[in-house]
Amino acid sequence: MAKSLDVSSPAARREALRMVDVDDPGPQHAMLREIFDLERTWREGPDPGESDEYEQIDVAAFLLFLIGDPADSPRLYGAKFRTGDMDLGIGFDAQAIFGAGRRETLQWLLDNGYTDEHAHLSGWLAQGEDPKIEDWATHVRRYFYSPDGMLCLDPL
């Protein structure tokens, strides 16, 4: 995939997401961060957008989860717990924050000064109903991708 890929519009971001290999998203890590940030900005902005655009942030989050870099956890945390968009705050899955693993993510947050996030997520994980992150990842993959790894979002 070209490094200078245009991701300025929702339609361009959708096509860029379509080009990411779900089985190996790591080579597009920087682009996925950019898409995630642009999608969050769009979600929190005044543009009502198209009816299907709302899922793009979830696809980008899932791919970041698969990469498993704990440095993405504050970005993902912010989308769930520090957003001004009610739909994003309710609908964004907190499980996406834990791509590096529960313990590894919490330790990274603590080691890097994210003490509030560490405390909040520790409490979230300790809640009575287990968030079953592994089951979530399997469900999300089946929801967004065909068995052969093709993204199932229609073109915008």
Mean pLDDT of 70-88: 94
Q: Give residue 2's pLDDT.
A: 44
pLDDT at residue 84, rounded to an integer: 86
Q: Is 33 exposed, middle or buried (0-12, 13-18, 19+ CB in 10 A)?
A: middle
Calculate the alpha carbon distances from 91 to 49, 55, 68, 72, 155 in Å: 17, 10, 21, 19, 22
pTM: 0.92
Residue 1, pLDDT above cutoff 60: no
SS3 content of the chain, % helix, strand, coil (to 5): 65, 0, 35
Query: In the structure, what pLDDT confidence band is assigned to residue 54 with cuts at 50, 70 and 90?
Result: confident
pLDDT single digits (tens) 102-146? 999 999 999 999 999 999 999 988 885 555 888 999 999 999 999
Which residues, including other chains, have CB under 8 Å from residue 51's CB and lie 6 or more apart?
none
Helix (H) or strand (E) holding 30: helix 29-44
Gap between the Cα atoms of 51 and 67, Å rounded:
28
Highest-pLDDT range among 6-10, 74-78, 88-92: 74-78
More confident residue, 65 or 125: 65
pLDDT tens figures, 89-114: 999 999 999 999 999 999 999 999 99
Give the separation between CA 72 and CA 65, rounded to whole angstroms: 8
Average pLDDT, whole number, for the chain? 90
pLDDT of the residue at 20: 97
